Structure 1
C-alpha cells in the first residue's frame, strides 16, 4: 500500500541522487516539457511497469519517484514494489516543491519563476511549455518606443519574449504622455529607450532588453535588425518604413506593420519567408507627399488608438513566433475607433510592385532613401 512507501523531501532526494539513487519523473511528457529535475529519467506513470526493466534491472538499487505533487509518485513506487524493487521512496510535494526550493533543473526547464509567471500560457494547448520555451528563445526588434511601440513592448515583454530590442533616437516629451504609456511625467527629457528600459524591466526582469538610441537609416538598417526573428514596425514616417520593408525582405524577417491616423488605424504582416506575401510597397508603391500623410504631431491622434493597434501588432508577432492561428499576411485590418468597427481588406502581392514584384530591382538603401526624400 502507499503507506508503506517512504516519503522524502526534494533536498533529501537530491542528496540521495548524488549518492547514486535513480530519480524517475512519472509525469506525462507534456508536463515534463515545462521543466524537470536535473538527472531525472522521464517515464509516465502508465508506462512504469513495462519500461522499468530496461531502465534499471537491479531490484536492490535505490529508486526515487517524483510527480507534480507527490500522489502519482506514491502509486509509481508501489507499482515498483509489486515488481520486486525493494529500495524505494517518493518525493513529497513533487516537482512543484522541487522547483520552489530552487533545486537543479534539466536543460531547457522553465524554472520556478517562469512556471508561475506564465502559468496561464502553459494552460493553453496552443502555447504550453513548448511554446513558452520558443518565446523565450525569440528575438524581436521593435522600431520606435512611442505610441505603437509602448503597448507592443509591454505585452511582448509580459509574454516572455527572450530578447527585445528597442530602437529609437528620440527623447520623452510631455506631449507623448497622452498615448506613449511606456513613459512617465518624471522621465520627460530622458531618452525614450532608457525610459522604456525602466518600464519594461519593472514589468519583467527576465527579458533580455537591448536598446539602441539610433535613427534607422540607409547606413544602419540591416545592422540594427539583423539577428532578429520578427520586426515590429512602430515608426511614423515613410522613409523608415520603406527601409524596413526592403531590409526585412532581404534578410527574410517577418515585418508586423501598424499605423494610426487621427481615429483610424491599420495592421498587416509582410512575411518575406512566404512567396505569396505582399510587402509594404504593395500597399504604398510610392511614398505619399508629406501633406498627404501628416504624422501625429501634425494631424493629431486619439490617445487610446495606438494602444489598440500596438496590441494587435504584439498579437501578430506572438502568433508568428508560435506558429499558431492565421497571420495577417495578404490582409489589411482597418480599425475605426469612432464607429467601433473593424474592416478587413485583401492585400495580395502585386507582381508589378517596385519592392517585391517579379521585375523589382534593389538599387540599395541609399536609393530608397532618395525616393522618399523626393516625395
Structure 2
C-alpha cells in the first residue's frame, strides 16, 4: 500500500479547504514551531487510538513530522485502520520551514517553553526524552565541596537540569583556587565558596534551585545534609570527609559518586553498598582505614594540574546523570584511574569486603567516626 505525499505548499492549500493537519512529533519537538494550522498528537498516541483524535474516517487527514518519515509511517498505519483519505507532508516541518511557510509556537507557559528549548538536545535522546528530563528536574543531589571537583561537576549538573543542588562547603575563595576551581572568578575572592558557586550556577540555569550550605561537614550535620537527596557527589578531596560520606551513604542507602586527584593523576568510582549490600563495595572496601597524614598530601603540598579536576568532575557528573536516569553501566564496583600526562585510562575491579565493618550484610550501622583532618580539600 502506497501513501500519497504532498509538498508543504500543497498541504497548506488542502488545509485551507478543510483538511485536518496533524503534527505527529513529540511535544518537545513541536515546541520549536509547528506548521500553521496543525494540531499536535504524538505518533504513538495517534496510532493507539485514532478515533480519539481524528474526525470521521472519510475526512481528509494530512500528517506532518520533522522530516517526513514518521508521518508516512503513521499515515500507512491509519490507512490500514480504514482511514481512506490520508496523506503525508514530504520533508516534514523542515521542508515547511525552508519553503517559508508560517510556523506557530504551541501554547505553553514560559516555564514549559524554557524547558523544551533548554533541554532540546537531551529530549532527542531516547535514553533521556521528556520523561527522563522530568526525572532530572525532580532530582536532588548533594555536592560536598565547591572546589576543584565540585566546580565542574556542579556546572554540568546545573546545565543538565538537576532540579535541586545542595552545595556544602565552609571555605572561602582564594586566588590560588582559581586555576582549577572554575566556578569562581577573581571577583569572588574572599567570598564563601557556596555563595560564589550559587551565583554562577543560577546565572547558567535560573530554573533550578541551588541550596548553599556554608558549614564544615561533620558527623553533627551529615544526616541533615543527606535528607531528601537522591545521589551524593564527593567533591571534598579530603580523606576524613570521604569516610564520613561513605558511611552516611550506607546508612541512608544512597549512591556515592567518588573522585580524587593529585598532581597529574585521578580516579573515580561509584560506591553503592547502601542499596546493594554484599553485591556492591563501599569506599572502606577499597581503603579500610585512612592513611597517615604524611601519606595524604593536599593540593597545596603536592600540586595539581589545573585541568585535572575538570576531567574528574565531568566523570562524576556523568555518573550522577546515569544513576538518576537508570541508564548505562555505572562505575559501581570499578575504579577508573587516569594518567593525564600519558592520557591513559585503566580500570580495576573492586569487590565488596564480606568483613567490612560498615557495609557487610547484616552488620548494624556502627556510628560515625570523625577522623582528624588531613587536608583542606580541592
Residues 56, 316 of structure 1: alpha-carbon distance in 2 compared, 3 angstrom cutoff: closer
Offset of 1:346 from its aligned partner? 0.7
Q: Tell me which residue corresponds to 2:27.
A: 32
Q: Tell me which residue corresponds to 1:256.
A: 257
Offset of 1:178 from its aligned partner? 1.4
Offset of 1:223 from its aligned partner? 0.6
2:105 counterpart SS class: helix
Q: Tell me which residue corresponds to 1:177.
A: 178
Alignment map for 1:331-370 (pairs within 5 Å): 331-358=334-361, 360-365=363-368, 368-369=369-370
Using the size of structure 2 for normalisation, the TM-score is 0.77
Offset of 1:231 from its aligned partner? 0.6
User: In 2, distance between residues paired with 1:199 and 1:32?
Assistant: 30
- Give the alignment's Cα RMSD to 1 decimal: 3.8
Q: Tell me which residue corresponds to 1:5.
A: 15
Kept in 2, the 8 Å contact 1:25–1:44? The answer is no
Between Structure 1 and Structure 2, which shows a larger proportion of helix residues?
1
Using the size of structure 1 for normalisation, the TM-score is 0.77
Q: Tell me which residue corresponds to 2:307.
A: 304
User: In 1, distance between residues paired with 2:44 and 2:352?
Assistant: 52
User: In 2, distance between residues paired with 1:290 and 1:206?
Assistant: 42
Is structure 2 residue 100 aligned with structure 1 residue 97?
no
Q: Tell me which residue corresponds to 2:323.
A: 320
Q: Tell me which residue corresponds to 2:136.
A: 135
Offset of 1:114 from its aligned partner? 2.5
Offset of 1:188 from its aligned partner? 0.3
Kept in 2, the 8 Å contact 1:172–1:191? The answer is yes
Alignment map for 1:202-221 (pairs within 5 Å): 202-221=203-222
Kept in 2, the 8 Å contact 1:69–1:97? The answer is no
User: In 1, distance between residues paired with 2:244 and 2:198?
Assistant: 25
1:265 counterpart SS class: strand
Which deviates more, 121-130 or 231-240?
A: 121-130
Offset of 1:357 from its aligned partner? 2.0
**Which of 260, 266, 275 is matched with 1:273 structurally?**
275
Q: Tell me which residue corresponds to 1:197.
A: 198
Is structure 2 residue 128 aligned with structure 1 residue 121?
no
Kept in 2, the 8 Å contact 1:282–1:355? The answer is no
Mark the runs of 5 or more structure 1 residues left unpaired by the alignment. Answer: 9-22, 84-91
Which deviates more, 294-303 or 259-268?
A: 294-303
User: In 1, distance between residues paired with 2:222 and 2:102?
Assistant: 46
Offset of 1:184 from its aligned partner? 0.9
User: In 2, distance between residues paired with 1:274 and 1:160?
Assistant: 27
Offset of 1:268 from its aligned partner? 0.4
User: In 1, distance between residues paired with 2:64 and 2:291?
Assistant: 61
**How many residues get paired?**
337
